[in-house]
Amino acid sequence: MLCLTLTGSDVQESLNQYRDHADAVQMVEVRADLLSCVDEQKIVQLVQTIDVPKILTCRRVRDGGRYKGSERSRLQILERLIPLGFSYVDLEDDVKRPELDALAHEHGLKIIRSFHDMEGVPGDLYTRIVKLHKRGDIPKAAVMVRSINDAIMLFKIEKELRDIPEKVIIGMGDYGIPVRILYKRTGSLFTFCSPTGTSAASGHLSPEIMHDLYHSDRVTPETRIYGIIGNPVMHTSSPKIHNPAFERIGLDAIYVPFLVNDVRNFFQLADLLSIQGFSVTVPHKQHVLPYLGKISREVKLIGSCNTVLRYNTLWKGVNTDFYGFLKPIQEELDGQRIRKAVVIGAGGAARAVVWALRNYYCKVVILNRTEATAQKLAQETGSSWGGLQEIDKITGADLIVQTTSAGMPPQEEINPIETYCFDGHEIVYDLVYKPKRTRFLQKAEAAGCKLVYGMDMLVAQGILQFESFTGSTFPDDLR
């Protein structure tokens, strides 16, 4: 089930939030700590109007809530609200009030016994969940996930604690996003989401994203898992390419973003979840290479991988950036409109760009902040090289390609070649796709240059990835 946490400051706003998202959720959580005034009569109206199971919660500040009053007053609020028709009440693990438990049972409420760790994942996580279960309650663990290793610990709960049929496992923070989306793979009874434009907790996604984009509530043990790894990665638009296409061809599959700090640990998670394939973005396009048992000709040539597939008992690396980059400028290359190119950056994406251009016999100049990195790539590809400051000396460039993360959140204001004066005849290509018009592209546009957007490449290489993942043709109407 997907549970919508109502974040309204009053009952009417909360009702409006439920009505807006009713088609996507199967439960709601009423957060008394978020209400400006706890009015029993109005809450009765709320409870009676909403026809799905309802959780009553009044969360303290130290547990991620907003209730700042005394503990005595908080528990009195819960005592007043328990009889009003809720299905569950969420009580923290340190609340020891037998009379409150008895009141909940008297009115037919199940108790969710929760603990929150806003700092990390405790080493005794499994033991704490077992202890809560032994109290006869539904145990709930909400913990801050700070690494892929932490995520592994949460996903192992399904197997390690399978004897506890009803439990709720919440991974907070960006590293916890996959835990929220794939909550059923932790054995979790349900997960939480917040109304569009709000967030009741770190990592909450909207019902539209959880239900419409990821179909999280429809994930089964047979659902194939694909994804994208990077750091950062939560800005990615790739799920919007793959998930609708999976649905269109009738494939039971899901594509999930994974914030990854350690590639080796991610491969352990990939085995744990039986991930079938994944995209690779900054900064891991070269980091994945030691873990691949088979690589394509392009990966061998470029020394960079953006797509990893299960291949029998091995992982196979391919590179769709190579062809994805070429597609938006194919006509200009074929017509020899592009003969000299400048590539900004020398990372994994730049490697694919340079090799693709050299494959068309273009003269390439690689400019990078770290000159030694540019020199190394230039020597491998037969290109010229220099530091970023050399851009002002460049003349006669037909194509300028920006391959770094400059312009991507949180660097939206950065143009890596701010001092360069475009003469207007250049084709200017930025691999950053969000925002669509970076500072780099805006300056080029003002000079009259032809622009190529990062989204064009993203879609082109994403289609190739989809076809590599599935063996099926990408749906024409989604291109």
Do 100 and 249 lie in one domain? The reply is no
Do 467 and 435 lie in one domain? The reply is no
Question: Are the CB atoms for 377 and 354 separated by under 8 Å?
Answer: yes
pLDDT at 14: 97
- Out of 285, 300, 327, 376, the active site residue is 285
pLDDT at 136: 87
How many C-beta atoms surround the C-beta of residue 234 within 10 A? 14
216 contacts: CB under 8 Å, gap ≥ 6: 2, 180, 181, 182, 183, 184, 191, 210, 254
Residue 144, phi-psi category: left (phi > 0), alpha (psi -120 to 50), beta (remainder): beta
In this prediction, the residues of the chain whose per-residue pLDDT falls under 70 are none
Do 469 and 431 lie in one domain? The reply is no
Do 407 and 452 lie in one domain? The reply is yes
pLDDT at 179: 98
Specify the CATH number for the domain of residue 295: 3.40.50.10860
State how far the alpha carbon of 254 is from the alpha carbons of 191, 220, 266, 293, in Å: 17, 10, 17, 24
Which of 188, 219, 250 represents a domain boundary (last residue)?
219
Residue 39, phi-psi category: left (phi > 0), alpha (psi -120 to 50), beta (remainder): beta
User: Cα–Cα distance between 466 and 9 in angstroms, integer?
Assistant: 43
Count of residues in the chain: 479
Do 413 and 435 lie in one domain? The reply is yes
* Stated pTM of the model: 0.92
**285 in catalytic set:** yes
Q: Domain span at residue 432?
A: 328-456
- What is the overall mean pLDDT for the chain? 96
pLDDT at 22: 97
Do 277 and 357 lie in one domain? The reply is no
Domain count, the chain: 3
Q: Give per-residue pLDDT as tens, 46-91.
A: 999 999 999 999 999 999 999 999 999 999 999 999 999 999 999 9
Do 103 and 212 lie in one domain? The reply is yes
Which of 219, 240, 267 represents a domain boundary (last residue)?
219
pLDDT at 409: 87
> Apex CA 157: angle with CA 313 and CA 217, to 5°?
85
Which of 175, 202, 219 represents a domain boundary (last residue)?
219
